[in-house]
Structure 1
Amino acid sequence: MVKNNKLGAFDIGMMVLSLVAVINICVLILLDLPRDVRSYLLFMDTLICVLFLVNFTYNILAAPDRKAYFKSHWIDFIASIPLIEPFRLARFLQVLRVIRLLKQTRHLALPSLKDRIQTTLATMMVTLVILIGAAGLSIYLIEHDLPGANITTAEDAIWWSLVTISTVGYGDFYPISTAGRLVSVLLIISGVSLFGVISGYIASFFITPEEKDQLAVQNRRIHRIHDQVENLQEQMDQIQQMLVELTADKKADKKVPPDDSK
């Protein structure tokens, strides 16, 4: 999760998801929840665990010394195992460890956030998980007990949330209340924005370095032409001002009466 004592954007994103998972666990343990709500929170916990496992697998494969990495990050692996209640409590230790490292290496973490690609992708990943979880749970709590509602189970709410944020819109599940439709509008707008950014980054990968250089050259040429146009405009304004002054002087000369004393 942390390489060479340097926190990256994905490491901070994993910390945020760890905090979300800890809150999720506290709700599951401390509150007596309906079966559907509990199933929904368990699904979100499993989804977060999958992201943890993917991140851990990538980091250990990329580590120069895999044994050393596992020895120093085994708690991350334990905390990433879903559906086992005692292992979920390991996330408390995971969050505390990352917060401690963040305090110790904040001067290293801040420069890493300047990597726009990693920071943007990590932010989108965290935002997607939070939006899917919050919107699905909200729509279930709003709609499940309304007369004529078709979103009545946690599974329906999860499916609706995934379909809505991806703007697919099958129409098999939809809200019938004003509050539910408001949640839908916010989720659709968020989905369009997030997937628009994702599409832009995917498109950027298909641009070759030569094409990027050509685009940079064209942009510089456009800026130069823009500057030249501005200079020409300034010169035209000066010439126009001079013409106005000359016209005014000629009119003034014509109005001066001749001297009869001569």
Structure 2
Amino acid sequence: MIDLDSPPYSIIDLLLWFVFVVDYSWRFFSSKAKWRFILENIFDLLAILPLNAIFTVLRLGRIFRLARLTKLLKLTRLLRIIGLTGKLERKISRFLRTNGLIYILYVNIFIVLVGSSILSVVEEKSFSDSLWWALVTVTTVGYGDIVPVSLFGKWLAFLLMLVGISTIGMLTSALTNFFVKDNPDEQIKLDKLQDELSGQRILIEKQSEKIEELHRMIQDLLEKT
């Protein structure tokens, strides 16, 4: 049985707690609305509270510490895991909603299932082999262990490859938008930089026009002389 109070599991628990503290502190001090941040990240706050140290300092009695503190320690570890899981779940959910990626994945799953079903009938293969072929094809891996022979199967493979390539492009776009939206301050800086570059480009174009005009004037003067 794993004993969470003895090394190396206690060390892992301590490191996990330290990571939560650093992460929470960084996000807290970076946040402008402190109270709103606390309310939206209540599980993260509970996960980093040193409940064992608090009750030890208060000296609430040996029996209470032995009976209750053990449960609180286990609850604290559970809260840390819940906090991490909840945070990951929120990020994954937001990522899947970016650019409608969740619907693209649904379409991909539907096409893979339909394509594998059709191939199993047309090529007279087992559904498991057809499903494996469809997954390998749509991910553009192409191991080549299962190859369609009929013309219809080849066209189906071509369709799955197109779907896979399109999905990779959409996934890349969703990743870019996700990280940009996840850092709004960086997006603001990027927009300001783009505006400055646009302004500089306009100035350069105006200067170029003036230089060309001066060049024409010089040419006219040289021709007259």
TM-score normalised by L of structure 1: 0.41
TM-score normalised by L of structure 2: 0.46
Greater helix fraction, Structure 1 or Structure 2: 2
